[in-house]
Structure 1
Amino acid sequence: MFFVKEKLFHLRLRLGGLRSGTETEEPVRDTSYFRSARGNSVRAASTTGSSGGLPAGRAGALLALCLVTMASPPASAQALTDLKPTSEPLILQQQGSFFVGGRKIVNANSGWNEVASRFGPPGGNVVVDQMYIQFQKGVNASKVPVVFVHGCCLSSKEWETTPDGRMGWYEYFTRSGYPTYLAEQAGRGRSGFNTIGFNEVRLGQKSPGALPPILAATDQFAWLTFRLGPKVGEPWPDSKFPTDKIEELYKQMIPDLILTQVPDLIAEVVSPVSNLPTVVNLAELAEKLGGAVLVGHSESSTFPTKAALKGRPGIKGIIQLETGCFANLNAEQISILVKIPILIMVGDHFQNPQPSPDCIAQRDAINKAGGDMTFISLPDLGIRGNSHMFMQDLNNVEVAQIVMKWLDDHVDRPAKR
């Protein structure tokens, strides 16, 4: 997560959840289904689900949701000229989006009460806990699908164009032959969130104390937690993050409503068992794709492991970026994880030695049982200065190639034997 195990154990957030409303028995059915290091130009060979091309304003709708107030002067807008030109077109076979999961509940307080005379009765059914997926598949796609899940207080924008206009992992993995999927955590961004509890408080049906906090990443929080420098505004001398465009990172921060879905943040982080909607949806997605590698980062880093422990088929690999591990796995859980290759990767400038004791314990338990768990600390490879956000760092392509080499050696090649 944002290193909850190292920094947030003193925050016992025992809060009532907002899973309000009466569930119906009706389930929600899905209706869906390196080479160039720069650029975002797209030519669609044949496209299904949406028109060819990458919409230039995709991030705009997400930014409109941002409620974080910065104390610094107004941020300058990112200029179109910040985007790096492409040297080769990105040729897609398919690009689109769909939803996974969701449940239908009765909502008697949809927020339209004051204008009911114009829009009709405010009650009815709504869908919650669904997860929005966007994807692209190049004409050269021949490798295992990869699903990326963003971290705390962020959206799928994390994997797209970097703050200084370079190619992000979403495009780079697509160019490298991977069908690439971006999962927007349930309760975040385009996946939406359950509003019922908030409206119940407004109407006096619940006390304000029933509301959990909505998590927001301030500029100070992001700078220090993402390990951009020893002090706010002071980058590490070897920093790989484009700190001259730090305001563009701050624009990516959006409200995190995970505490509307779980009553205790710490308990959720430390337990390998989870019924968080995003975890459940990831397990379903991997199965429906016919197999996929799940990649979690920060808050979501352990979600792939938790999804695997659901016991559903389809998870071909687990990649945890900037993460904690589980030293409390039981024999049954280990028996599931020994069948799935696992990669743990971290950057630089940790206060504590890496791997952590929990990661050592998990690695040793899984590998001793015949599994395949790898821990990579980038500084151990001679790559220094990477932040918590190495998918956006100046050497993000280099780091992506390390991930791809692991995929070749541990997932793709073994599957072809």
Structure 2
Amino acid sequence: MLLLYVFALSLGICNAAALSPFRKSGRGIEGLVAAREYFYVGGEYVNVTSGNTTNQYMVGQIYVEKLTPPIITYPHGIVFVAGAGQTGTNFLTTPDGRQGWASYFLEHGYTVYLTDQPERGRSPWLPGTGSMVAFSTRDIESLFTATAAYNLWPQARLHTQWPGSGRAKDPVFNAFFATQVQLQSDRLISEANNAKAYTALMDRIGPAYLLTHSQAGAYGWRVGDARPGLVKGIVALEPSGPPFENAFPFEGRERTWGITDLEVVYEPSAGPNATDLETVTVPAVDANHTACILQAEPAKRLSNLAKVPVLVVTSEASFHAPYDYCTVKYLGQAGVNVTFLDLPKAGIYGNGHMMFMERNNVEIAMKIRDWLEATVTVAFPS
């Protein structure tokens, strides 16, 4: 019991009443003590020859941490998949020590799966498989934590929700930057490995929701496409995009299949390497947004993803604010049941790309829970 109590403290969800009898309240389960376990899933053996010696290694496996509330209110858990440079730890607590989303959803009766992508964090990388890159302090400041100071896109000046100055050597920034880890630089290797590993995870745990962030957005689409019967819904926090071609701060043609670099199922077929996907460019809605590349009509249908409800969440001040609406339009055009939670239109202002760590993170989590429970979640009888 002491170990469970200490674990609850580490999640920021335990107080002096933690060992009292559990009871359901209007805000969740009071006195929550979560059970914690971990496992690895996916992975395959490969042989590597160096000189006259051949050795065997495992590659592609992912670390999964399962947190189970004492009272499971909902039959399907939530799989958290962090974005570039992040791990499952980023959903535990915020950099300034407040309640993270893992704690919030545990309180409301969801089993939580925190994961590290292949070759990321606690998921091993075999040297020689692609290469590793890392974020600098300037990358983090300009894109995530101090965007108003850099003002690199129209909405950047609206960023007010990051706790602290957002600049290097600020204590909150230091706590966040210390969590940043290396990531696979080859996006094709990364997408292939992630799609394979998270599909294996769904096969192991059964029906669940996917919550993806940023870079992981494409991986969520691939897993939903591969296992539409197991993925009960996808919450995509500012997913990789926009369709087909990057917008600031990235450059170049990506996402050959519209929302992914590698194949997803279209009806009629998109052809080899998506060569039968015909596109048109639609003008931007205003000067603060980008133009959108959509399918030419009649649009092909994402027939598997059309079976999976999707919520796309975008912050007011993020570099995704100019273009996430294009991703939403593309998904809708392809037959996906997609809802757009554009946070400022919902009355939630000032957030950046790391919305789940910012001052109002619980307010945003409440909106996501509302969508889950209104759209796809079935609760156990009370």
TM-score relative to the length of structure 1:
0.65
Q: Is 2:194 the partner of 1:292? A: no
1:104 aligned residue: 45
Q: Judging changes above 3 Å, is the alpha-carbon distance between structure 1 residues 237 and 320 closer, same or farther for their aligned structure 2 residues?
A: closer
Q: Is 2:112 the partner of 1:180? A: yes
2:57 aligned residue: 126
Out of 262, 267, 270, the position equivalent to 2:188 is 262
Out of 355, 367, 373, the position equivalent to 1:402 is 367
**Count of residue pairs the alignment pairs up:** 306
Q: Is 2:43 the partner of 1:148? A: no
2:307 aligned residue: 339
Q: Is 2:302 the partner of 1:356? A: no
Give, in whole Å, the separation in 2 of the partners of 1:326 and 1:88: 49
Letter in 2 for 1:175: E
1:317 aligned residue: 233
Q: Is 2:177 the partner of 1:241? A: no
Deviation string for 1:188-232 (max 9, x for gaps)? 11111112x28xxxxxxxxxxxxx552211111112222632335
CA contact (8 A) 2:8 2:34 kept: no
Q: Judging changes above 3 Å, is the alpha-carbon distance between structure 1 residues 141 and 312 closer, same or farther for their aligned structure 2 residues?
A: same
Deviation string for 1:85-108 (max 9, x for gaps)? 746535346310001100012245
CA contact (8 A) 1:283 1:315 kept: no
Deviation string for 1:283-320 (max 9, x for gaps)? 22223222000111011122111111124631111111
Give, in whole Å, the separation in 1 of the partners of 2:64 and 2:4: 17
CA contact (8 A) 1:292 1:315 kept: yes
1:52 aligned residue: 4
Give, in whole Å, the separation in 1 of the partners of 2:49 and 2:193: 22
Deviation string for 1:104-153 (max 9, x for gaps)? 122455xxx9xxxxxxx986322111011001101121212000011101
Give, in whole Å, the separation in 2 of the partners of 1:281 and 1:362: 24
CA contact (8 A) 1:355 1:375 kept: no
Give, in whole Å, the separation in 1 of the partners of 2:104 and 2:380: 23
Q: Judging changes above 3 Å, is the alpha-carbon distance between structure 1 residues 341 and 233 closer, same or farther for their aligned structure 2 residues?
A: closer
Q: Which structure shows the bigger proportion of residues in strand conformation?
A: 2
CA contact (8 A) 1:344 1:374 kept: yes
The runs of at least 4 aligned residues of structure 1 exceeding 6 Å deviation read: 56-59
Runs of 5+ unmatched residues, structure 1:
1-42, 45-50, 60-82, 114-120, 199-211, 269-273
1:170 aligned residue: 102
CA contact (8 A) 2:238 2:312 kept: yes
Q: Judging changes above 3 Å, is the alpha-carbon distance between structure 1 residues 229 and 290 closer, same or farther for their aligned structure 2 residues?
A: same
Q: Judging changes above 3 Å, is the alpha-carbon distance between structure 1 residues 233 and 249 closer, same or farther for their aligned structure 2 residues?
A: farther
Give, in whole Å, the separation in 2 of the partners of 1:348 and 1:101: 36
Percent identity over the alignment is 24
Give, in whole Å, the separation in 2 of the partners of 1:292 and 1:191: 21
Task: Note the C-alpha offset of 1:322.
Answer: 1.2
Deviation string for 1:376-413 (max 9, x for gaps)? 11011121111111110011111001010000011114
Give, in whole Å, the separation in 2 of the partners of 1:408 and 1:158: 24
Task: Note the C-alpha offset of 1:56.
Answer: 10
- Aligned partner of residue 91 in structure 1, secondary structure: coil
Out of 132, 142, 149, the position equivalent to 1:214 is 132
TM-score relative to the length of structure 2:
0.71
Give, in whole Å, the separation in 1 of the partners of 2:338 and 2:380: 16
Letter in 2 for 1:221: D
Q: Judging changes above 3 Å, is the alpha-carbon distance between structure 1 residues 57 and 137 closer, same or farther for their aligned structure 2 residues?
A: closer
Q: CA RMSD in A?
A: 3.3
Letter in 2 for 1:406: W
Letter in 1 for 2:267: A
Q: Is 2:223 the partner of 1:302? A: no
Give, in whole Å, the separation in 1 of the partners of 2:158 and 2:237: 23
Letter in 2 for 1:411: V
